[in-house]
Amino acid sequence: MTKTALITGATSGIGWATAVEFAKKGIQLILCGRRQDRLDELKTELSPLVPVTTLNFDVRDKDEVFKAIDSLPNSFKTIDILINNAGNAHGLDPIDEGSLDDWDAMMDINVKGLLYISKAIIPSMRDRQSGHIINIGSSAGKEVYPKGNVYCGSKHAVLAITEGMRIDLNTYGIKVGAINPGLVETEFSKVRFKGGSQADNVYKGYKALQAEDIAEAIYFAVSRPPHVNIADMLIFPTAQASSTILKKEV
């Protein structure tokens, strides 16, 4: 039986790569994001493989979230897999110099957006007593590093929410897990450094994880047998030992 997956933040990076990986495996897709042109591009690429629909909204807006989910065609309403991937990092400032706008953006997207999407989708999973939720966390959710303060806080929250979800939804047979990447070469650093030159240096001197590496891990998690749940997975590139220890070529 064909499964349906909803992926937030599908317009780039890990979300895009996960959509491609799922399509190759025959999973029907609901692609969500704020850039309709990118959603259209991805839909065109993947539609020859599987049925695809798109939802253009901002996870920070709870009214938009529920309106978008309610608008799904009947053939996409049964969501078997939820990938809470939408997230961001803004700025890399010490706590006393941090931007309130940056803090709001990180907490609103990384934490509240994840909650809004989950709230919209969990009831149908609960009623069917079936479903799988993967929240994309970060190594920053396990270890705080200098100037990471609020971003690390938001990702620690993602892991706490994931554990709470798994406990609360256990009685309904719903799987819940977190995939936590270390350094992945995506648009992440361009957003964090706001397009500055620092972004160009983040991935130099070593081989960072690629979005496809994380997509493969996500598919591994969702393709386990019914009695197996990957509750938590931390993934580093070989060059990375922790959030602050990285082997770079001189």
Residues serving a catalytic function are: 151, 155
Q: Which of 95, 109, 204, 112 is nearest to 146 (CA)?
A: 95
Amino acid at 179: I
Amino acid at 101: D
Residues 6+ apart with CB under 8 A from 39: 10, 11, 31, 32, 33, 54, 56
**Whether the Cβ atoms of residue 98 and residue 150 lie closer than 8 Å to each other:** yes
Can you name the residues that pair with 235 across neighbouring β-strands? 181
Amino acid at 244: T
**Whether the Cβ atoms of residue 14 and residue 136 lie closer than 8 Å to each other:** yes
**Whether the Cβ atoms of residue 222 and residue 210 lie closer than 8 Å to each other:** no
124 CA to centre of own chain:
21
First to last CA, the chain: 52
Task: Burial-class residue 60 by CB neighbours within 10 Å (0-12, 13-18, 19+).
Answer: middle
